[in-house]
Amino acid sequence: MRRRIAVLAVTGAVAAAVVATPAHAEGRGDIRVVKTVVNGGGSVIVGVKAVKRFAIVMTVKDNSGVKSVSDVSAFNTSNAHGPVSYLGTSCRKSSTTTSVCTATMEIDPSWIDSYGSGNEGWDANAVAGTWQVNATVQANDRDYWISDRIATFKVKRAATLTTDAAPEPVKRGGTLTVTGKLSRANWTDLKYHGFTKQVVKLQYKTPGGSYHTVRTATTDSKGNLRTTVKASASGSWRWAFLGTTTTMKVVSTGDAVTVK
């Protein structure tokens, strides 16, 4: 229950910040966040079951030294959706003027849909996209700064991709049919659904070699993939999806086929 209350508090702060004005900062003195790295520089990938915990690492400077980071929030830049828990911040002093502070954030996919329940037209999947980070920092000399948009990052829906090449084995010069399915997380019902109308690369490699793209195919209305190729040599086949601004990049496990 404490975690849920924390999320609601952050959500309220986010709504006020986004509706009021564009990105800005306010406070007093010379304390500043000079660098921010979210999730090690990578996108935050959220599936349908596992709780995703990630770090926001801020380098903070003030001539008197850094006292604390008193609040951190994160939310979608286009619609202000921010179903994320702020679990607190720890700071490590790197010099008399500088501290590296790590905020721990958490997104629980089971709570995303209920976060916006009751709002007309609510779509839990609209949470995916570009997010921004806001933070309030305090110095030993009572300087403080409310910093907006100190970083942006992507929150993306997790995806799965399968490959099956048949028949196995196949005669040299014969036709090999390669199928698969691209699916992505749906945060409304917490299931994976086929991702339609997406271009996916079919890749091949010989034993000991590297994968290269042979052709592309587009997923159908259920996320399925299907194409045929001529079998010339033994090797492995896989599908590779480059991802979108809201869905992760994913590559299937290779399916090895012997050509006889």
Asked if the model's pLDDT at residue 1 lies above 60, the reply is no
One domain for residues 150 and 41: yes
Whether pTM > 0.85 for this model: the answer is yes
Residue of 101, 76, 107, 106 whose CA lies nearest to 89: 101
* Contact predicate 203/180, CB 8 Å: no
In this prediction, residues 50-57 reach a mean pLDDT of: 98
What pLDDT does 10 receive?
37
What pLDDT does 24 receive?
62
**b/e per residue 207-217 (b: at least 16 CB within 10 A):** eeeebeeeeeb
CA–CA dist 187, 198 (Å, integer): 20
Q: Of 156, 178, 195, which residue sits at a domain end?
A: 156
* pLDDT per residue as tens digits for the range 203-260: 999 999 999 999 999 999 999 999 999 999 999 999 999 999 999 999 999 999 999 9
One domain for residues 15 and 115: yes
CA–CA dist 29, 59 (Å, integer): 17
One domain for residues 10 and 78: yes
| Identity of the residue numbered 96 | T
Question: Considering its fold, how many domains does the chain have in total?
Answer: 2
One domain for residues 103 and 228: no
Name the pairing type of β-strands 25-28 and 129-139. unpaired
One domain for residues 21 and 112: yes
One domain for residues 241 and 204: yes
**CATH number where 30 lies:** 2.60.40.10
Among 11-25, 123-137, 176-190, the minimum mean pLDDT is found in 11-25
One domain for residues 240 and 169: yes
One domain for residues 137 and 178: no
Percent above pLDDT 70 for the chain: 91
In this prediction, residues 13-26 reach a mean pLDDT of: 42
Return the H-helix or E-strand segment holding 220: none
One domain for residues 109 and 32: yes
Q: Supply the range of the domain harboring residue 49.
A: 2-156
Decide: residue 95, CB within 10 A, 0-12 exposed, 13-18 middle, 19+ buried: exposed
Q: Of 94, 128, 156, which residue sits at a domain end?
A: 156
One domain for residues 199 and 237: yes
Residue of 236, 102, 250, 113 whose CA lies nearest to 165: 236
Q: Of 125, 156, 187, which residue sits at a domain end?
A: 156
Asked if the model's pLDDT at residue 202 lies above 70, the reply is yes
